[in-house]
Amino acid sequence: MTLRTEHLTVHYGQRTVLSGIDLDVADAEILAVTGPSGCGKSTLLRALAGLLPVSAGRILSAGVPVTGTSAERALVFQDDGLLPWRSVRRNVELPLAIRGVPRARRRAEAESWLDQVGLAGYEDHLPRELSGGMRQRVQLARTLAGSPRVILADEPFGALDAQTRTAMQRLLVEVWRKRPTTVVFVTHDVDEALFLADRVAVLTRDGRLAKIVGSSSPRTAEPAAAAERAEVLDGLVAA
């Protein structure tokens, strides 16, 4: 298993936010996490990233207990998280620079990733000179440049308009096909969850795992099967 939680429990002070979560994410699987607002989805991702202390239970990454952050597990935020003073190219180069990749190779790799997300020609722009959708694509390029084993994404497309969102979903599928990577992402959109993910985990309001629904046709152009859609929605209603 690439990523596993065993009875994961997280408290904020006296309050239990996540309670006894058991999850197994397979290699190259895409898992969506959904649930009512405030149920602990972002907390779950932050815990998986190693940003939060676990109150009980544990998280294993490739069999090894997670005790802190690692470049192996990249966290993608809803707002783009780019460094505003660095050019698009230098933002994408960042994870490569951290790994000590020499300048010329760093530059070539960053340019290749920017080309793959459709941003060739924008290398020297600053983030503020781009639209929200373009910044989100820069963030995707930066994440991929770091070659993480696991991508953890918190509502990565939540702030985008419907059209850009669809384009980003297709782009993610395209990139994933070229290099299948384990992805755990949070979404409020049931159709997005069933389109992108192999399975959808539904959390309850009190931070438990309500159910996991499999998607029979992830990453295909077919609309989500009505039965799977109903099952996720049922879980959300009961949550």
Ligand X SMILES: Nc1ncnc2c1ncn2[C@@H]1O[C@H](COP(=O)(O)OP(=O)(O)OP(=O)(O)O)[C@@H](O)[C@H]1O
> What stretches of the chain adopt beta strand conformation (E)?
3-12, 15-25, 30-34, 56-61, 64-65, 73-76, 150-154, 182-186, 199-203, 209-214
CA distance 166 to 57: 37
Partner from Mg ion, ligand X, none contacting 39, C-beta within 5 to 8 A by type:
ligand X
* Closer Cβ to Mg ion, 42 or 70, answer by number: 42
- Asked if residue 34 lies in contact with residue 188, where contact means CB atoms within 8 angstroms, the answer is yes
Binding to ligand X in span 13-72, by CB under 6 A: 17, 35, 37-43
CB of 5 to Mg ion, least distance (A): 17
Q: How many CB atoms lie within 10 A of CB 54?
A: 19
Partner from ligand X, Mg ion, none contacting 148, C-beta within 5 to 8 A by type:
none
| Binding segment toward Mg ion, per CB under 5 A, in 39-47, 96-104, 123-131, 165-173 | 39-47
* Closer Cβ to ligand X, 83 or 233, answer by number: 233
Quick one: tokens of 205? Answer: 């309001």
* Closer Cβ to ligand X, 68 or 102, answer by number: 68
* Closer Cβ to ligand X, 43 or 136, answer by number: 43
State yes or no: residue 187 binds ligand X (CB under 6 A): no
> Hey, which residues does 153 pair with through a beta bridge?
76, 185
* Closer Cβ to ligand X, 47 or 172, answer by number: 47
Q: How many residues bind Mg ion (CB under 5 A)?
A: 1
CA distance 66 to 192: 29
CB of 52 to ligand X, least distance (A): 8
CB of 7 to ligand X, least distance (A): 18
> Residue from 16, 42, 70, 147 that binds Mg ion (CB under 5 A)?
42
DSSP-derived pairing of the beta strands 150-154 and 182-186 = parallel
* Closer Cβ to ligand X, 52 or 140, answer by number: 52
From 83, 104, 84, select the one nearest 94 (Cα to Cα): 83
Task: Provide the 8-state DSSP code for 11.
Answer: E
State yes or no: residue 184 binds ligand X (CB under 6 A): no
Sign of the C-alpha dihedral computed for residues 97, 100, 103 and 107 taken in this order: negative
Residues that bind Mg ion (CB under 5 A): 42
Residues that bind ligand X (CB under 6 A): 12, 17, 35, 37-43
